Structure 1
Amino acid sequence: MSGFPIITADQRLAETRGVKGVLVGRWGLGKTYQLWTLDPGSTLFIDIEAGDLAVKDWPGDSLRPRTWEECRDIAVLLGGPNPALRDGQPFSPWHFNEARQRFGDPAELAKYRTHFIDSITVAGRLCLQWCKGQPQAFSDRTNKPDTRGAYGLMGQEMVAWLTHIQHSRDKHVWFVGILDERTDDFNRKVYELQIDGSKTGLELPGIVDEVITLAEIAPSDGAPYRAFICHTGNPWGFPAKDRSGRLDMVEPPDLGRLMRKLGAPEAAAPDKTSPE
């Protein structure tokens, strides 16, 4: 078995690993503002939402994809090609070479250790718009639009996109999403990721390592405060997951600090006061 590509325990432990997570929360709580807690020299802001007013002075670099095709191109350049895929398929070596011709040498992206993708909600809208124009979104019999076909294709596309970015083993990746609140039939509050279709929201927690909700907590004996909710079994019912086992249920709303607690190396963030 001398030629079998076994990775030893020492090799695996020596690998550089990145944190993969999703940060969700209501409008206006400061999800995008978390960029101010990250090192601008090693962070790439992938601004899909075009909602960067809160971080207009943040001194880091950004990309602004406007179409689903551009989102896929950026993903294959960040994550590299998947050799298991065939020519013509997204994220294949063929796609990687096509994207490289459109965007340039992906080596320029190597300096970015953290990818901050804002937001997965808007990425889903771009994806659905693209899916509605594909053959799968039309009935074979009548050639009329088929909503189920469009949403089915969207689920496949989004999960493939998220999974490919997640395989950037040595990078930190944070997907930002909007959290919806509704009341179920038993008058209980239920929280869900705001995204078209159900497949992405159901599968996303299994793709990433960390699910963090930025929430405003209203204690019975004090003023409300913002915090990161990090454990599944929290009393408020917020979506959360900590695969590392290093986080407390409630953490300060500082993404840079959270990443250092997860084992990411120390990095200098710009001097900026957190929003009220």
Structure 2
Amino acid sequence: MKKRYLAASTALIALLATGCGQEDTDANSSAEEEMVVPISVDLTVPESGEAGEAVHLSAAVTQGDEKVADADDVEYEIWEEGKKEDSWMVKSEQNTDGLYEAEATFEHDGLFHVQVHVTARDMHTMPMKEITIGEGAAEETGEAGHESGHGDHHGEHATEGFSMHFMEPDAVKANEPAMMMVHLQQDDQPLEGARVRLEVVVNDKSDAAQWVKLSEEKPGEYTGELTVDAIGKATVTVHVEDDEGLHEHESHELTISE
């Protein structure tokens, strides 16, 4: 009888030890997964420049102490103050490990925004700086921006430090699902826990607007599928809200083909 009790006790101790060991392993694995070091971007943009002359832009991408030489995409988006809808993109080149450089030329004087979009190691960040070209913005520029009706509707956001990047798909075809992706940041950090919806109006038929709810797959990255049943032009308005009172929106145009 004593031998039976001894065997049972030994088995129980072994089982408990195995369970504790498994819990420790799971805890260590979870801790390792949570300790992902975010990428960091040091964006360098001159404070001023001259119209018609090339301006050098650079973005140093790191992860901890490591230079990130394998970024998936580094692209500069540039627009004049109050004219986000007319922004243009400039591709970068990596001439030194982790340093992604580009040149931009501005056609006229004004105040411009330079935002670099960096996608690397399953993370996305998009710091932004300003540059004054020539004499800077004319006094009436701000008023003209409001009179044009664009305002924050196209991306001049009211919330300080808020940034949005709508990843426009390469092609959208009628009756085929297309992946929509939006990156959000607040004070250069991923904006998590937001409520993000797309309002889609095809061929100006606002009474038949389609709504698509996006889900947060990664910190600050929201995705969802959109299917449109007609060819033509679609206006996609991204609506962003959170529990802190944030309410921003931004519109983009898509072409729907056969």
Q: TM-score w.r.t. structure 2 length?
A: 0.25
Q: Which structure is larger by alpha-carbon Rg, 1 or 2?
A: 2
Q: TM-score w.r.t. structure 1 length?
A: 0.23
Q: Which has the higher strand share?
A: 2
The higher-RCO structure (CA 8 Å, 6+ apart) is 1
Q: Which has the higher helix share?
A: 1
